[in-house]
Amino acid sequence: MLPTVERRSHSDLVTKDGLIRVISTLNALYDAGDIGDSERGAAERWLRDFLYARFGTMDKQSQKQAYEKGDVHTWMLSRGKAAARVSEIRACLGLCAHVRLEMLLVQEKSFSAMAKVLFPNISEARARMKVSAQCGLILEQLSSYYDAQKNRTAPGKNLPDARGCCM
């Protein structure tokens, strides 16, 4: 399936491995070597949870697990769990990190566009560099958060800090 004419006019597209992809800021960080597979995977996981919690949409093809049919109650419970995960990450990483994740992943803003919003009073080049570094750091923290959650299963391991975050 090809993107619509409207979508093609608004986005920079690239064909990679036979798939048409939007050139995103996340891919720019990855291609530059600023983030690795772990950070990219964490970003995609956070984005799936955010979109499902906010809009109730889910990309079945991006998930490797099998889907079971459910009723409205099971879907709403899973949507609530996704919202809780997003809220917990926002509480652990902070509101500023959450805003940057939304700009980077949901709104798919460029570094220049984020820089204009976040640092309007400094030069564009310097602001762009700051935003790029911040996004890379936040994605590293997000990846570490997910790793800590995975390792949290052992009793007494990774005790929560004052905010209730296990990192």
Residue-wise pLDDT for 107-139, tens only, equals 999 999 999 999 999 999 999 999 999 999 999
Does residue 161 fall inside a structural domain?
no
Q: Can you say how many angstroms the Cα of residue 162 is from the centroid of all Cα atoms in its chain? A: 25
pLDDT score recorded for residue 153: 61
Quick check: is 10 in a domain?
A: no
- The count of structural domains within the chain is 1
Q: Which band of pLDDT confidence, cut at 50, 70 and 90, is reported for residue 154?
A: low
The verdict on residue 97 lying in a domain is yes
Is residue 50 included in any domain, yes or no? Answer: yes
Domain around 144:
26-153
The per-residue pLDDT for range 79-113, each reduced to its tens digit, is 899 999 999 999 999 999 999 999 999 999 999 99
Enter the tokens of residue 57.
């949409």
Read off the pTM: 0.77
| Cross-strand bridge partners of residue 16 | 19
Question: Which pLDDT does position 59 carry in this prediction?
Answer: 64
Domain for residue 92, yes or no?
yes
Please indicate, yes or no, if residue 115 is contained in any of the structural domains.
yes
From residue 85, give the alpha-carbon distance in Å to each of 45, 101, 142: 11, 14, 12
Domain-embedded: residue 139: yes
9-57 confidence digits (pLDDT tens): 655 666 666 666 666 889 899 989 999 999 999 999 999 999 999 988 7
Report the pLDDT value the prediction gives residue 1, as an integer from 0 to 100.
Answer: 64
- Residue 21, in any domain of the structure: no
Q: Which residues contact 147 (CB under 8 A, 6 or more apart)?
A: 38
Task: Return the CA Rg of the chain.
Answer: 18
